Amino acid sequence: MSNATDRLRIAVQKSGRLAEPSLALLRRAGLVFRSSRDHLFLYGENMPVDVLLVRDDDIPGLLVEGSCELGIVGRNVLTEQRLAAADSGGAAELLSLGFGGCRLAIAVPQGSAIGEPADLAGLRIATSYPALLADWLRENGVSADIVVLNGSVEIAPRLGKADAICDLVSTGATLAANRLRELVTVFESEAVLAAAPGILTPAKAALAGQLAARIAGALSGDGVRLLMLQAPRAMLPAIERMLPSRETPSVLSLDGRPDDVALQALCTVALDWQHLEALKRLGARGLMVLHVERMLA
Ligand code: PRP
Ligand code: ZN
């Protein structure tokens, strides 16, 4: 079922935590979509790129079989598939995307006597991530039984099916609602851009590269601010020393004002009022802090 069309396909979660931020990121990368009637497909109107809306757990499989060239999926789902497939290869992680942060953690009933990972020896742990859990148990020298469940993992202890669970935790609300206590983190996850393992046609490879670069460019603007100011030329060294700047600021001359300069600097840390007031005391004027929408190196 490989994608024989000359349009690139990206698989994205249809509903759930990653769904909205994934589409928002693709829009920031410049894609404009029209939804299909069945809402399973978004047709790219300004680039030969279409979005397939699917269950997140299906995304690694779609990449491996070649139905899609790119996917946005949790690193947990991607890594689980890669470990489970062992040497048959898996989808590759291209970029981490900075949203959908969560952790795969082992949790036990609140009243349980289990106090540390070693106490899990000989017990049953329910999970939808058997490969990641098995890896962690092996690395930590704990021998426990893995009970594979595909949903409602959090109720397994109450049903007497397991003594502990290993599941995704984001806010912790699900654990609290099921009176479970987090014991240890097994795997840290966030959304990533993943790529199919196969070789793409030159046209598709170029398109995938362009899209990945645009996504990286959209993300690199996150948390970056552009600081603009004017100042007496003589104060420039003192001002530059104060800037939390990521690269050399641009300094521009001003027509008819040889003693003054305009300065632009990209800053990665928040520029708060104290920062601006300190710069003003050094003689800076017309201070402005702007959001950076996107960057292309
Ligand atoms: C995970 C996990 C829990 C919940 C935890 O499911 O299975 O049910 O999120 O989140 P919380 O700590 O904020 O309560 P997810 O939404 O990822 O759905 P899926 O695993 O079925 O795709
Ligand atoms: Zn899922």
Task: Look at residue 246 and tell me whether its pLDDT is greater than 70.
Answer: no
CA angle 106, 112, 117 (to 5 degrees): 40
Residue 289 Cβ < 6 Å to ligand 1:
no
How far is residue 261's CA from residue 176's CA, in Å, rounded to a whole number? 57
Identify the DSSP state of 275: H
- If pLDDT is split at 50, 70 and 90, which confidence band does 87 have? low
Ion ligand 2: residues, CB within 5 A, are: 56-57
| pLDDT at residue number 290 | 92
CA distances from 118 to 105, 112, 130, 138, 230 (A): 15, 14, 18, 12, 62
Q: Considering only residues 132 and 199, tell me which one the structure prediction assigns the higher pLDDT.
A: 132
> Which helix (DSSP H) or strand (DSSP E) does residue 240 occupy?
helix 236-242
Residue 177 Cβ < 6 Å to ligand 1:
no
What is the Å distance from ligand 2's center to 15 Cα?
A: 9
Structure token digits, residue 63:
């990449």
Over residues 191-204, mean pLDDT = 91
Residue 155 Cβ < 6 Å to ligand 1:
no
| pLDDT at residue number 1 | 61
Task: Look at residue 296 and tell me whether its pLDDT is greater than 90.
Answer: no
Task: Look at residue 3 and tell me whether its pLDDT is greater than 90.
Answer: no
**Three-state secondary-structure class, residue 243:** coil
Ligand 1 pocket, mutate which of 77, 170, 185 (most atoms under 8 A from CB): 170
The ligand with the least distance to the CA atom of 56 is 2
Q: Which is nearest to 158 in space by CA: 113, 114, 108, 123?
A: 108
pLDDT tens for each residue of 252-267: 999 999 999 999 999 8
pLDDT tens for each residue of 153-192: 999 999 999 999 999 999 999 999 999 999 999 999 999 9
| pLDDT at residue number 294 | 82
| pLDDT at residue number 38 | 83
Task: Look at residue 86 and tell me whether its pLDDT is greater than 90.
Answer: no
- If pLDDT is split at 50, 70 and 90, which confidence band does 88 have? low
- If pLDDT is split at 50, 70 and 90, which confidence band does 247 have? confident
Q: What is the largest CA-CA distance in the chain?
A: 82
pLDDT tens for each residue of 90-146: 899 999 999 999 999 999 999 999 999 999 999 999 999 999 999 999 999 999 999
pLDDT tens for each residue of 10-60: 999 999 999 999 999 999 999 999 998 888 899 999 999 999 999 999 999
How far is residue 293's CA from residue 273's CA, in Å, rounded to a whole number? 22
How far is residue 86's CA from residue 31's CA, in Å, rounded to a whole number? 35
Closest residue CA from atom 3 of ligand 1: 168
Task: Look at residue 295 and tell me whether its pLDDT is greater than 90.
Answer: no
What is the Å distance from ligand 1's center to 166 Cα?
A: 11
Q: Considering only residues 199 and 264, tell me which one the structure prediction assigns the higher pLDDT.
A: 264
Find tokens 């987090």 and name the residue.
182
- Atom of ligand 1 lying closest to residue 174 CA: 14
| pLDDT at residue number 220 | 82
